[in-house]
Amino acid sequence: MQAANSSDSSKEPPSGQPNSALKQFLSAGRRHWANVTDAEWNDWHWQLKHRISTVEQLRQYLPTLTPAELAGAKLANHKLALGITPYFFSLIDPENENCPIRRQVIPRIEETHTASWEMSDPCGEDSHSPVPGLVHRYPDRVLFLVTDRCASYCRYCTRSRLVSNASGYDFHPEFDKQIAYIASHPEIRDVLLSGGDPLLLSDEKLENLLSRLRAIPHVEFLRIGTRIPIFLPQRITPELCAMLRQFHPLFISVHTNHPRELTAEVRAALGRLADAGIPLGNQSVLLKHVNDDAEVMKALVQKLLMCRVKPYYIYQCDLIAGSAHLRAAVSKGLEIMEKLRGHTTGYAVPTYVIDAPGGGGKVPINPEYVLCRNAGRVLIRNFEGKIFEYPETSEGQPCGQPPRKISEPELV
Ligand code: SF4
């Protein structure tokens, strides 16, 4: 194990980019747990057993707790539990109240403020649930909720109504019923395991579940949504990877919001999953004072590619109750997309989406690149703001006059 926040420079690619400090793969170190043995620290069960989950622990390990955080922590277990692995806690900057890691997992009193437009189930999942723990909102795929537990709890969690069971939702998935529903619906070709975090299941339980799903002939494709590689990279053991690789095609979506979450430990864990042949994608949530900044987001997406993870989605923060203090404006998200598209590798550019409130599904949101369109031509703008004309065609023939060279003053 490396010293706290030491750089894994042996594998560091050279970079002269302005965001190069954010792009370093540092170890999380061990901060308060320097006396713990390597065997304990690298044991995912030890990490879970020693999570910071009480106000007293939080005060002990984070003496710089602000009044807003302290008040939030005292009330947290009535809404969404407080829980942070020692590994992830070691990434928090105790001197910075606005540390982007801290803002994601330390409760604040603002979580108890609910605006009139906020909801407990902003994606309308409960109204699309034919059996407990299964959401069938899109025609050919289902969301299979495996557990209500996570390694650490994100304060903006869209499923905070059920995750951690702090608010008494009483979540009881019934795998037999969930699997029977999928088996009796031949239109379901894609199953996404989520929760809570499916990788908190033991290898044996997860293998049993994946085997049963894989045995359904019309299930073509399996996916797991997890934040475990980020909160608890120790869980990504060679044994887990060997088990998962039996179930291809199996994709994994991880959830990373800030480049500092991509540590040396996380890069190694993601590498083990990639080596098992598992295609990896990342989902980020746009969060105020965490990643609502183009340079931060650019460093994140570029670093993800270095970890063999395709940036997949940036989500506009759902209208989950008590999340206003973390919600960035849509205009900020559009500004970030404008600064990514064309300015970095296309593979690094995720799709920015709003999950339409109430259950409308994901809607992609893009800066305007089509300036106007008619039967004869399409007028488009590129990432530099230059304008081009593309002819519409019918059977290969332009519908209008051949393209003209457009100069910008003509349009002002
Ligand atoms: S890991 Fe996912 S499900 Fe768990 S608290 Fe975070 S956002 Fe919610």
Query: 282 has which bridge partners?
Result: 254, 311
CB within 8 Å of 356: residues ≥ 6 apart: 362, 363
Q: In the numeric block, which tokens belong to residue 275?
A: 């080596």
Instruction: Ligand 1 pocket test: pick from 135, 148, 159 the residue with the most ligand atoms within 8 Å of its Cβ.
Output: 159
Measured distance CA(356)–CA(319) in Å, rounded: 10
CB atoms within 10 A of CB 357: 14
- For ligand 1, whether the C-beta of 163 sits within 6 Å is yes
Q: What is the pLDDT of residue 17?
A: 55
Distance 410 CA to ligand 1 centre (A): 50
Q: In the numeric block, which tokens belong to residue 346?
A: 């296309």
Distance 23 CA to ligand 1 centre (A): 24
Q: What share of the chain is helix, strand, coil (3-state, %, to 5)?
A: 35, 20, 45
Domains of the chain: 9-112 (no CATH), 126-364 (3.20.20.70), 370-411 (no CATH)
Compute the half-sphere exposure of residue 176: CA atoms within 13 Å on the CB side of its CA: 0
Measured distance CA(111)–CA(276) in Å, rounded: 39
* Ligand 1 atom closest to the CA of 196, numbered from 1: 3
- For ligand 1, whether the C-beta of 227 sits within 6 Å is yes
- For ligand 1, whether the C-beta of 80 sits within 6 Å is no
Measured distance CA(368)–CA(407) in Å, rounded: 18
- For ligand 1, whether the C-beta of 148 sits within 6 Å is no
- For ligand 1, whether the C-beta of 285 sits within 6 Å is no
pTM of the model: 0.91
Q: What is the pLDDT of residue 338?
A: 97
Query: 311 has which bridge partners?
Result: 282
Q: Which residue has the tokens 């049963």?
A: 212
Q: Show pLDDT as tens, one digit a residue, over the chain (412 residues).
A: 333 444 443 344 444 456 789 999 999 999 999 999 999 999 999 999 999 999 999 999 999 999 999 999 999 888 899 999 999 999 999 999 999 999 999 999 999 999 888 988 888 888 889 999 999 999 999 999 999 999 999 999 999 888 888 877 788 889 999 999 999 999 999 999 998 999 999 999 999 999 999 999 999 999 999 999 999 999 999 999 999 999 999 999 999 999 999 999 999 999 999 999 999 999 999 999 999 999 999 999 999 999 999 999 999 999 999 999 999 999 999 999 999 999 999 999 999 999 999 888 999 999 999 999 988 899 999 999 999 999 988 777 777 666 666 665 554 4
Measured distance CA(368)–CA(341) in Å, rounded: 12
Burial of 15 (0-12, 13-18, 19+ CB in 10 A): middle
Residues with a known catalytic role: 137-138, 141, 150, 154, 157, 159, 318, 355, 362
Instruction: Ligand 1 pocket test: pick from 77, 82, 201, 227 the residue with the most ligand atoms within 8 Å of its Cβ.
Output: 227
